[in-house]
Amino acid sequence: MTLQERVQQYANQFSNNDWLIFQYLTNYSKPSQLTIQALAKECHVSTTTIFRFCQKLDFTGFSELKASMIYAQPDKKRLAREDFKKTYHQVVDYIDHYDTSRLFKAIKSSEKIFLLARSELELRLAKDMQRIFFPLGKVIVILPSNQSLMQHLNQMFSSVLVVVKIDSLAEFPLVLKNPQELKNIFVALLSDFKEVAILADERFYIPNLYDDSVMPIPHITSFTLAVEMLYLKLQLN
């Protein structure tokens, strides 16, 4: 279903801002280069308004809307075996050369691992990580919201907190920017965004397929591979 077809189906839910966003997208010729921040700026709305616009059209988030626009282009590029092979090698090389000694030391000394994952896509990855790291014998707790993070904060002393940032648009709580609150927590970020405004002991920026190829829906292939590589590397460490 094209963006126009979705708009026709859900037009009765639209606000004035939604129509402004749709008009801008209709006239935008290079959706692969569009970011949610740029779209919000051009339409003079917040990123939250953009996210709600996506939800009204039955998208899980901005990444899916963007992918559907690219996929609908006449000259769209389909994912090929070479795309996966290229990304596979990028992820393997990235994790292989990353100095994971501090992260692994924190994991081995921690009784619990907490995973902050707030969108549907991020929760899928968190469940993959929970499954992959299960043989370690650690208690692995998935935190599906900022509220759940705050509720578990007093349980995180000398623990590891993995923050997943793939497509969630919600702002992080201020506690993730406060060195006093985080001084006894090892924080690792797992994302494909270069700028995430939190304090983190380790930042893993995972190579993804978004830049060079097209997927009709958001995906976590490269992230799951990265988690598997981290677990393998931990076992061999």
Same fold, 3-71 and 81-236: no
Question: 21 near 59, Cβ under 8 Å?
Answer: no
* Confidence label for 11 from pLDDT (cuts 50, 70 and 90): confident
* Confidence label for 34 from pLDDT (cuts 50, 70 and 90): confident
Domain boundaries, the chain: 3-71, 81-236
How far, rounded to the nearest angstrom, does the alpha carbon of residue 65 sit from its chain's CA centroid?
15
Alpha helices in 72-185 (DSSP H): 81-97, 101-109, 120-132, 146-152, 179-182
**The CATH number of domain 3-71, selected from 1.10.3470.10, 1.10.10.10, 3.40.50.720, 3.40.50.150:** 1.10.10.10
End-to-end Cα separation, the chain, in angstroms = 48
Give the predicted TM-score (pTM) of the model.
0.67
Q: 231 Cβ partners below 8 Å, 6+ apart? A: 132, 133
Please count the helices (runs of H) and the strands (runs of E) in the chain: 11, 5
CATH number of 81-236: 3.40.50.10490
Structure tokens at 227: 């988690």
Tell me the mean pLDDT in the region 124-146: 95
